[in-house]
Structure 1
């Protein structure tokens, strides 16, 4: 983006001005931020107050991953700002914050006929799509790749004009000055940012901005586990003292509270309810119904929920309803007899696999997101103006859904994005926004709609079930893998949830759009990263009566489990040590080899010998960025055992290479959180369905690990100078196979179904 004085210094006074974006062709956008009295807005990312305080507009959903702190740190380092004077605010919906990296990553979803034309973030089509929509979605860990450069450029331009203002007073060249500790220095002379903000408006920044020689970076060796972070999380104090505002904390004058009931999962519609039965419920304000749901509003949420239950809403099938017996039958038939479509290949292994050396089937059950905070939205409709407050990963799509439901113009709809109490991609679903808007319109009052835990599990779309047959051809001496094929039976899940999200369609319409289509994104990771001469992935697309959604880790959440477990089977078949077997097939991937060697030292790897209870797995994740491919690497060793019919994981060790690390403590938290999320998926988190109802809906029924059963966790990082990679999903994907391989070592039993306890172990 070309930075000019007009494009950089926006909003002198109450107006927002114009931001001139030159990424593609000259396009004019309204300034995304509005300046208050005495404030200056810099390139829609930085708000500088008269007293020198800095606020960074963050165009991502903070879900506990620390991305707001990361964005603020990038700006603080580039500006030379005092961390105590830096804050953050959610960025409004604006084309300025369009994420071209995610648009390129999801090109198969919005440009299915020719995705290769838009799979580069630097390409015209991806950038145009990102800005036009706007493509402002938090997913896939694209924050650093998409926004570190713009944040640095904006901060560098601010630093430059502040330096110019100081240089004008001192009569020196601005390039000789230093910005640090919230001030500009000329030797011993010092001028604070507060004294320079008004004068800085008279100066144009250099074009292009002059960046510092080094971006924000922390050496992992300088921040061992337990060390005091240089840049502590900005959201931590408010979370500790309870003042942090989540979606359920919003309060408006004359606001009522709503509870909702959805029908069974699948094609169900509301058939009847007894409105008179709720008449005597104290605090009932009103009842609102739609084709697929019924809601009650009250002076308290409990009154609304009581009224809802009293009405005893009934739903009937308007098509197929999810049932696990039918699901498994359809998946099994598809895997054995369905026509597969090749979605990825290097060579052709079919001839080699006419008689495979070994073959195994792996199964994965539907998994619930189960975020701690259930779906919640507050809506207010007054004089044709709609406002909504909610935690969402897709604020523009939530705004569109709410506007349609309330029958107002999009330009008259404002969304206030809030931080989420967890998500794991559940908050890509924007239905709660449309429901809250519809209820507010009917009742003509502000309303806060909150899904109960049961409704979150019932109505939330799970990660897809999948079954796969993995086959391998070994050399005659069993020392090398010559051929590999993964045959997967699952719906075109990525096409389905992508259509539902991006095209803003119903669940049934999205399933119809995905019907029969091969889906490379839903099969991603099924092609092994190892140097196997002939390998391929075949997708058998299924039509299931269960809508599905993306979950943290994407397809790698299940393909990594299958591939890394089967690689272990191949190593055992060859009589080889699992780590060395992997390393022998990783020529040309020194970073991943280093991770395997690093985790072996960290975990005191004993070779995975029988009864050792140790298992190993590794993974690589890639992301196309403007400067080229970014990659993250991880290797995990698990120590696990069987104990009275339960699985006990005693230790998880991980060694990761995520390139240049901006904030070591945040990176460690992300890897640790990913490991424990992976543990939860390994031993629980799934549900069966009977007549459309989830059989494991409460948190206590999901088999999630308790604090008392959490293992010792060790995390180490490579000291790398490569481009940074977001670690949020990296730790999760390699954990389940490491645990499965550890249990095979401990017991001699190979578990091929996820969650592992579902096999009756």
Structure 2
């Protein structure tokens, strides 16, 4: 008889990594030669450690404890931040121990993850934290030796005198901790970096691979109850609730109607999922909603309306178009998208009188605390927030709705509560990437020069659906950019690379259309516009022309742009979140069909702190951008998404990822963010390559649902 083995989801991950290698090895999760990081479990070491600043403590044992303040959601900040501190400290990386810091606004500034801003914001602060501690350690050693501090050097966790007498950092911490730190300390020259720029392993690899409870879904507290919530369709409110069937499910202890929600409460999530299906809730409209979901009609009406907000205007646009030798007009549209992180929303809350304990995955712990304080009417200082590792976020966890739900239920029940969303909850009750439609127009003179440019964006709860100061603004004499924001009951939220995630695709595809009409090479066309912006700028320039030019020229060189008769290539470049990324997609024809073979990317994100993590971010951004441009859609009916789970919400698959070739441009700048910038250019590069190969221009996402795409039957080959 065959022996059966019981496994859990973490065992599956470990088995999958060993058996297939695809998920882990394909993304080089362990591919580096740095010392293995072990997780510190010795509480005695921690209790003996001397604090030098908010980020750094050193134990007499020589162990170095570094606290990472920003939430970790896969961007590898929990490794990159400590690398910066350890670099300036000249630490022995094998002795570095890393912990996630809880929310503490007195110790840390901007303790959030979003907008690819953590690294540029914290770069100098982290360097100073390490350099200050090193300065004090050196001073302590100088006193012991009776020499001037200038005679001492540091290396690998030691202070040395003439390369002979030396002290380990652990021997110096007691004396060093009593010294007063100066306001300013010298920082290293980048040429002397030994840790920054090396492929250090993720500090949490061991814990992840061995299934330690790191994520919010793993969190458990003795005595807590579980809750799951049925939320209303968008634009609807509860009319009546019959909870008889739900209460009869074994394991359900209570059903609570609060605000416009119905919560089922019990001892585990499985009976709650069954109980939710037994709820009989009748809804009624909460105001007029029938027309709110007819998005095609909304887009058509607003694109032609005269009530747009002017975001930027340069020159005499009307005259430029009136006198143009040629006018090109195109419209591009994208759907709503779910953030769909692998870990659905969840949070733990324990309200104890006028104090609250919050634990869970949040990108904005301070927002979680503030909204909880506002809900309960208590001082925010009475609320603690412990940040678990996030199983993805992509902007969804910038909100605090799931945190407030947990706090409110804990208050109502007078018990510690963990609220968990199912995948269907996440899809149907979430906040989405806004649906947007753009109308572009370009005016060409008889020499093929772009003398006029118009963009009108219409977004559904998108706020400003344009980035009016991004390229090509500043390079065109006559330019008009307008925005219209339509208010809908559908909640929207920042989605990875907000607005630019689709705007870049639309802009870069349209610029290829203009280059074609002007009979110019797409890369040269953009370089000529940049030269125009540099030599004779129109209005203010809000992007770095030389950095954008640098990635364009690099990707053209690395991809052999235009040098192969067999390759049909598509180009795209974009500036977002302070960084610049250019991409080229390669398509070849096999048996009369187009095959996407490769995407080459050139990135200027300033100093690359952690090359392994940076490669993950660029590759992940490209895969994310490609998958959502080609496959993913969310449509609504009667206030609910039709797509409720991954059986109908189509995501990209591993076999659909082509070869990705990543390069970096060293522009000499400090780090400028990398969690989002690689995503925006991807769709445009692929769409432009498809046009080069087939003559089919795809202007609406997802590609897979468009007639033009179905006719060409694009295939993808992995190297």
Residue 576, structure 1, aligned to residue 531, structure 2: no
Rounded Cα–Cα distance in structure 2 between residues aligned with 1:755 and 1:637: 20
Alignment map for 1:390-405 (pairs within 5 Å): 390-405=360-375
Q: CA deviation at 1:241?
A: 2.0
Instruction: Give the paired residue count.
Output: 649
The aligned residue for residue 507 of structure 1 is none
Rounded Cα–Cα distance in structure 2 between residues aligned with 1:467 and 1:645: 33
Residue 82, structure 1, aligned to residue 26, structure 2: no
Rounded Cα–Cα distance in structure 2 between residues aligned with 1:298 and 1:642: 58
Say which of 97, 113, 118 aligns to 1:138. 113
Residue 585, structure 1, aligned to residue 529, structure 2: yes
The aligned residue for residue 63 of structure 2 is 53
The aligned residue for residue 336 of structure 2 is 366
Q: CA deviation at 1:168?
A: 1.1
Mark the CA change 1:326 to 1:579 in structure 2 (over 3 Å): closer, same or farther: same
Mark the CA change 1:586 to 1:487 in structure 2 (over 3 Å): closer, same or farther: same
Q: CA deviation at 1:658?
A: 1.7
Alignment map for 1:225-240 (pairs within 5 Å): 229-240=198-209
Residue 748, structure 1, aligned to residue 695, structure 2: yes
Rounded Cα–Cα distance in structure 2 between residues aligned with 1:441 and 1:215: 55
Alignment map for 1:151-230 (pairs within 5 Å): 151-186=126-161, 187-214=163-190, 229-230=198-199
The aligned residue for residue 346 of structure 1 is 314
Rounded Cα–Cα distance in structure 2 between residues aligned with 1:637 and 1:555: 22
Residue 533, structure 1, aligned to residue 477, structure 2: yes
The aligned residue for residue 465 of structure 1 is 435
Deviates more, 1:715-724 or 1:686-695: 715-724
The residue matched to 2:294 in structure 1 has which SS?
helix
Mark the CA change 1:692 to 1:555 in structure 2 (over 3 Å): closer, same or farther: same
The residue matched to 1:144 in structure 2 has which SS?
helix
User: TM-score when scaled to structure 2?
Assistant: 0.85
Say which of 605, 610, 626 aligns to 1:663. 610
Say which of 248, 255, 277 aligns to 2:245. 277
Q: CA deviation at 1:598?
A: 1.9
Rounded Cα–Cα distance in structure 2 between residues aligned with 1:602 and 1:618: 14
Rounded Cα–Cα distance in structure 2 between residues aligned with 1:57 and 1:353: 57
Say which of 418, 426, 432 aligns to 1:448. 418
Rounded Cα–Cα distance in structure 2 between residues aligned with 1:279 and 1:573: 66
Deviates more, 1:165-174 or 1:230-239: 230-239
Alignment map for 1:586-625 (pairs within 5 Å): 586-587=530-531, 588=534, 589-606=545-562, 612-621=567-576, 623=578
Rounded Cα–Cα distance in structure 1 between residues aligned with 2:126 and 2:486: 43
The residue matched to 1:287 in structure 2 has which SS?
strand
Q: CA deviation at 1:75?
A: 0.4
C-alpha deviations, 1:172-197, integer Å up to 9, x for none?
Answer: 11232222211211121111111111
Mark the CA change 1:612 to 1:213 in structure 2 (over 3 Å): closer, same or farther: closer
The residue matched to 2:498 in structure 1 has which SS?
coil
The aligned residue for residue 736 of structure 1 is 683
The aligned residue for residue 552 of structure 1 is 496
Rounded Cα–Cα distance in structure 2 between residues aligned with 1:216 and 1:275: 67
Rounded Cα–Cα distance in structure 1 between residues aligned with 2:284 and 2:274: 22
Mark the CA change 1:348 to 1:237 in structure 2 (over 3 Å): closer, same or farther: farther
Alignment map for 1:250-399 (pairs within 5 Å): 250-265=219-234, 267-321=235-289, 325-354=293-322, 357-399=327-369
Rounded Cα–Cα distance in structure 1 between residues aligned with 2:256 and 2:591: 49
Mark the CA change 1:216 to 1:435 in structure 2 (over 3 Å): closer, same or farther: farther
Q: CA deviation at 1:739?
A: 1.0
Rounded Cα–Cα distance in structure 1 between residues aligned with 2:194 and 2:49: 31
The residue matched to 2:443 in structure 1 has which SS?
strand
Rounded Cα–Cα distance in structure 2 between residues aligned with 1:439 and 1:322: 32
The aligned residue for residue 654 of structure 1 is 601
CA RMSD of the aligned region, Å? Answer: 2.7
Say which of 668, 690, 709 aligns to 1:721. 668
Rounded Cα–Cα distance in structure 1 between residues aligned with 2:192 and 2:336: 40
User: TM-score when scaled to structure 1?
Assistant: 0.80
The aligned residue for residue 407 of structure 2 is 437
C-alpha deviations, 1:65-102, integer Å up to 9, x for none?
Answer: 11111110000000011112223223333334665xxx
CA contact (8 A) 2:333 2:699 kept: yes
Say which of 45, 69, 72 aligns to 1:62. 72
Q: CA deviation at 1:53?
A: 2.1
Q: CA deviation at 1:373?
A: 0.8
Rounded Cα–Cα distance in structure 2 between residues aligned with 1:687 and 1:207: 53
Structure 1's unaligned 5+ residue stretches are: 1-34, 100-134, 224-228, 495-518, 624-631
CA contact (8 A) 2:585 2:686 kept: yes
Rounded Cα–Cα distance in structure 2 between residues aligned with 1:164 and 1:731: 44
C-alpha deviations, 1:562-582, integer Å up to 9, x for none?
Answer: 111011001111222212222
Rounded Cα–Cα distance in structure 1 between residues aligned with 2:590 and 2:243: 51
CA contact (8 A) 1:320 1:545 kept: no
C-alpha deviations, 1:366-390, integer Å up to 9, x for none?
Answer: 1211111110101123354311111
Say which of 419, 424, 427 aligns to 2:394. 424
The aligned residue for residue 475 of structure 1 is 445
Rounded Cα–Cα distance in structure 2 between residues aligned with 1:757 and 1:538: 29
Q: CA deviation at 1:757?
A: 2.4
The aligned residue for residue 214 of structure 2 is 245
Rounded Cα–Cα distance in structure 1 between residues aligned with 2:59 and 2:290: 55
CA contact (8 A) 2:577 2:673 kept: no
CA contact (8 A) 1:621 1:633 kept: yes
Deviates more, 1:748-757 or 1:36-45: 36-45
C-alpha deviations, 1:38-57, integer Å up to 9, x for none?
Answer: 33223322132342322222
Rounded Cα–Cα distance in structure 1 between residues aligned with 2:640 and 2:563: 44
Q: CA deviation at 1:235?
A: 1.9
Q: CA deviation at 1:325?
A: 5.0
Alignment map for 1:680-695 (pairs within 5 Å): 680-695=627-642
C-alpha deviations, 1:642-672, integer Å up to 9, x for none?
Answer: 9999996432110112222212222111111
CA contact (8 A) 2:216 2:389 kept: yes
C-alpha deviations, 1:526-562, integer Å up to 9, x for none?
Answer: 6525722222211123233322211111121121111
Rounded Cα–Cα distance in structure 1 between residues aligned with 2:556 and 2:608: 22
The aligned residue for residue 562 of structure 1 is 506
Mark the CA change 1:647 to 1:681 in structure 2 (over 3 Å): closer, same or farther: farther
The residue matched to 2:647 in structure 1 has which SS?
helix
Mark the CA change 1:269 to 1:51 in structure 2 (over 3 Å): closer, same or farther: farther
The residue matched to 1:414 in structure 2 has which SS?
strand
Q: CA deviation at 1:524?
A: 4.8
Rounded Cα–Cα distance in structure 2 between residues aligned with 1:532 and 1:545: 38
C-alpha deviations, 1:575-611, integer Å up to 9, x for none?
Answer: 22212222222213333233223222322323698x9
Q: CA deviation at 1:737?
A: 0.7
Mark the CA change 1:464 to 1:644 in structure 2 (over 3 Å): closer, same or farther: farther
Mark the CA change 1:217 to 1:183 in structure 2 (over 3 Å): closer, same or farther: closer
The aligned residue for residue 53 of structure 2 is 43
